[in-house]
Every structure is written in structure tokens, then in C-alpha cells.
Structure 1
Amino acid sequence: MAKTVVITGGVSGMGLSASKLFLSKGWNVMIADFNKELGEKVYKELSSKYSKKQVAFQQTDVSNATSVTDLKTKTSQLFGKVDSVINNAGIFTKGALHEVAEDAWDRIMAIDVKSVYLMTKAFVPDMIEQKAGTIVNTASISGLTGDYNMAAYNAAKGALVNLVRAMALDYGKYGIRVNNINPGPTMTPMFKANPQSVIDTFKKASPLGKLAEPDDIARVMYFLASDESNPITGENIPVSAGFEIYSGQPVQK
């Protein structure tokens, strides 16, 4: 029997790569995203390549409890039990802390952090009953380290970095594993919209001289969601081309 995964933020970038990878591995995939127009386009493309019985799209506001409950109901109707949840939806905002507007702070906390709470409330009870399941959250190396001009984003991703440990401790006895993937700068369509000079600067900052691709992130998502990663739980896994490994100290001659 095919396994089922729910992927939030699944219509572009890392989420789209994950949606395609899980489908290629024979999983049923429920794609959840706020962008209805793009979601329907992606669904049409993927359902023609795979099967309408294997993939579905649900417009979802992951910061809204009713919307997440509707996602859970639709997923259960179409696919039955859920084996994995990929909490990939997220947003970004710039600014030192005093520069961040209150509504911008509330929004990033709602979409990047509260969404994990709501998705867990909706999907974990069934995982507890079936005594199995995996949850993968998209955190960031910005939750592991500090960045200039990114206070709200650092705070949101930092919350996920510790939340994953609490979740792993609470749900391990039910056979549920919870892990974070922590990407660095990644060559998503949004990042590639930067001027080439900016992209080149980021590449030079990596010890590998390159940036991760969305497919690189998707492969680690699949690894953490599947039985291949048993018994890994409660971990933050950087996939960053080495961005988080440098202490910042100058070279000593």
C-alpha cells in the first residue's frame, strides 16, 4: 500500500522538488499551498504525469486552524492514513528588531512557527493511533546562527530548532520521528531573482563554491520522512554547502 505525505508550501522551490520526488518514489502526495492559481497549475502538470489518484492540491492557509483542519479532512478522504508531514511553508522578513513592524512579526511567527503547531494538532493524533509517522520541518541555518538584519526570521527559525527536540521527546514513544532540515541559501526561483553579483557573492562564501539546489533539499526531506532515516529523531540537519560551519574568525597567518 502506497504511503502518503502532506507537503506544505509544495508548489514552488524546495516544496515543489519534494512533491515531485515523493511522487517518483510512489507515494501519494497532498500538496498544500496558499497560492491557488499556481497550485492548480502544478496539480494539472503532476496529475497528467502520474495519476489523479496519487496527487492532490488543497489551497491552505497554514496559519489558520480552520484551513488546516479542512486540509486534514480532504487528505483523509482521498488517501486515508498519513505517513509523513513536511512542514515546508514559510516566509521571510528583513530588519533589525526595532525596525520590524508588529504585523510583520506576527505574520512570520504565524506562518513559520504556528503552522507547525496547527499541522501537528491536525495530523499527529492519527499518527499516535497508528503508532507510526514522520514529521519534517523546514527550519534554516538562520535558526542555528545569527544573521545581520534578519531578527524576526532568526527568531522564527530558532524556535523550530528547539521545538523539534520537544516534539521528538513527546512523540517518540508512539513511533513518531520528528526532524528539521536546515537549508542555507538555495537556488530557488526566488533566490535566483537576485542580481548575478549577489548570487556570486553567496557562492564565494561557501567552502564548496556553490549553493544547494532545491532537489538537494528534497532528497534530504525524503530521507528524513522515509524509513531510510530510522532511528534519527530530534535532529537539525544542515544542508547548506557549508554556510554554518565558519566561526567568523579571521584567517591566522
Structure 2
Amino acid sequence: MNGQEQRLAGRVAVVTGAASGIGLACAQRYCREGATVIGADLHVLQDESFSAFHQLDVTNAEAQVHMIANTVERFGRVDILVTAAGVGDAGPVHLVEEDAWDRVLDINLKGTFLSLKAVLPTMMEQRSGSIITVASVEGLQGCEGGSSYNASKGGVVLLTRNAAIDYGRMGIRVNAICPGFIDTPMFRQVMDMEGMESFRADVESQHKLGRFGKPEEIAGAAFFLASDDASFVSGQALAVDGGYTAGHSHGLVEMMGLV
């Protein structure tokens, strides 16, 4: 890191959803901080951030177990897990098809569960580890038309808190990051659709910093939660959202001259 201390040197990190967006940004940050980084995604990515990369579907329990076993065999341990694999979908309940519901819940919630289930035996044996799930502000509060996505991310938040309760006695910390709307390929796929201009502008305005977030800003929070600075942080759902969940704004302070 340009002569600076590499604060994750000697640690081994596994990142799912690592081929793009938040997962890739987390992997790259961990690499810069000196960690050995193992990536996983449906799409294989060649990037110097990774010491190994596994092509896998996070809903495949056997593939997840194999990845962790391979990591331990090659690198001796797993210190950090980031579960960034996820998909989006939209619709109020009466418009959501059952197979679309199943896909979102399977990847976002069951996939996270299977990642934890695969890595926990190793961390339990080590008596240490930091697990960082990627949830969403939509797992903390509702957002119109997002029934399946919101349900999946709300489930991730409570799964995270339960794991923190169950495994804290073994030195394992478990926290969730709840990003606001972050400029990723998945974000652009939705927001760049025809007819989304006013929705995009309104959502952007509800981020009190007046902009959407960057993947690197989520990676900064993921670095903190993996680092020794967060040694007493567990069971938390950390909103990294530019003030999106702070509350509503309706233009009153602008009327009072605050611009």
C-alpha cells in the first residue's frame, strides 16, 4: 500500500459475488491491505486481487464446502468471509411469480446461509473469524415494489444477528453491511431502463449526501469490519447509505434557506 502498513497481512479472505460491483471492490481493498483473497462467482474473473478464484453458484452447498476445503488446504485457514453474491428483482406481491420469488430468496438468503454454513466449522476450529454479509437498506426498511428483494435482505440481517449470538463465544464476529443505492452493474441495469429517470432522481435525492454510493465506499466498511479496529463489533447491521435511512426530507429546510 505505497509503503503504508498492510493491516490484513497474513489473513485469508473469501469473497462471493467477487466478479463485479461490491464484491470485486471488497476483494481489491483486501488485497491492497495484504490479505490473501479467494474469489467466487458464477463468472470467472482474472484479477491480481485474487490468489484463487472459484466459479460457483452460491445455492450449491457442495460447491461452497469444496471451495472452503480447498482454501484451507492451500492457505491453511479462513479469517474473513464476505457474502456479496446477490440478485435484484422487483414487484408487489401479486405481480411476483413464484419462480422469481424462489430465485431471489435462494441466491440472496439461502446462498448467504450456505456460505456461513460452509465456513463456520473452520472458524469454529480456529476460534476466530469475521463474517460480513451484504444486506441492504431495503433489509432495514420497506421500499415500494421490492417485496422479494426486501424480504431476502431482511432475512440476511436477522440471519447475521443470530449467527453473531450463536458463534460470538468462539471468537467469531458476524456483521451485515446495508448499502444504500450503489453504482454497480446491477444498479445500472435497472436505473438505465427507459422510463426510470424520475424514479432515479427521486431515489438519489433521498440519499442525504445528494448522490449514489460507490462500491469502494462499501469496501471501506467491509475493511473496517474485517480489521482489528472492529474487534468489539458484532451482530450489527451497518447502513452505509449516504443518509438514506436517516429519515424523510420534504423540502422544509430549503424553505428556511438551508441549501
Secondary structure class of the residue paired with 1:179: strand
| Structure 1 residue 68: Cα displacement | 0.8
- In structure 2, how many angstroms separate the alpha carbons of the residues matched to 1:91 and 1:163? 18
2:243 paired residue number = 242
Asked if residue 74 in structure 1 is aligned to residue 67 in structure 2, the reply is no
Gap regions ≥5 residues in structure 2: 1-8
CA apart distance, 1:57: 0.5
What is residue 154 of structure 1 aligned with on the other side? Answer: 150
Judge conservation of contact 2:175–2:237 (CA < 8 Å) in 1: yes
Within the alignment, does 1:90 sit opposite 2:86 as a pair?
yes
Deviation at 1:192, TM superposition (A): 3.5
TM-score, structure 1 normalization:
0.89
Q: What's the CA shift for 1:239?
A: 0.4
Q: Which moved more, 1:110-119 or 1:199-208?
A: 199-208
Equivalents in 1 of 2:97, 2:28: separation in Å? Answer: 36
8 Å CA contact 1:140–1:183 kept in 2: the answer is: yes
Q: Per the alignment, do residues 250 and 208 of structure 1 end up closer, same or farther by CA in structure 2, a change over 3 Å counting?
A: closer
* Correspondence for 2:22 among 14, 17, 29: 14
Q: How does 1:40-189 map to 2 (within 5 A)?
A: 43=46, 45-46=47-48, 55-189=51-185
Cα deviations by residue, 1:112-141 (Å, 9 ceiling, x for unpaired): 111122112211111111110010000000
1:144 positional shift: 0.5
SS of 1:120's equivalent?
helix
The CA deviation string for residues 51-109 of structure 1, in whole angstroms up to 9 with x for no partner, is: xxx61110011111111122112212221100011011111111111211111111111
| In structure 1, distance between residues paired with 2:94 and 2:82 | 32
Task: Quote the Cα distance in structure 1 between the aligned partners of 2:171 and 2:69.
Answer: 23
Write the letter of the residue equivalent to 1:100. Answer: V
Q: Closer, same or farther in 2 for the Cα pair 1:191/1:116, shift >3 Å?
A: closer
Question: Match for residue 36 of structure 2?
Answer: 28
| Counterpart in the other structure of 2:6 | none
The aligned amino acid for 1:179 is: N
Distance 1:65 1:247, change over 3 A: same
What is the CA–CA distance in structure 1 between the aligned matches of 2:202 and 2:70, rounded to whole Å?
A: 44
Structure 1 unmatched ranges of 5 or more:
48-53
CA–CA distance in structure 1, aligned partners of residues 202 and 123 of structure 2: 44
Would the aligned equivalents of 2:206 and 2:249 in 1 still touch at CA under 8 Å?
no
Specify the alignment match of 1:220 in structure 2: 221
Local SS of the residue matching 1:153:
helix
Query: Aligned partners of 2:117 and 2:188: how far apart in 1?
Result: 35
**Distance in 2, Cα, partners of 1:250 & 1:212:** 22
For residues 106 and 137 of structure 1, the distance between their equivalents in structure 2, rounded to whole angstroms, comes to 20
CA contact (8 A) 1:192 1:199 kept: no
Residue identity in the other structure for 2:209: L
SS at 1:46 equivalent: coil
RMSD across aligned C-alpha pairs, in angstroms? 2.0
CA distance in 1, matches of 2:180, 2:246: 11
Cα separation, 1, equivalents of 2:99 and 2:249? 33
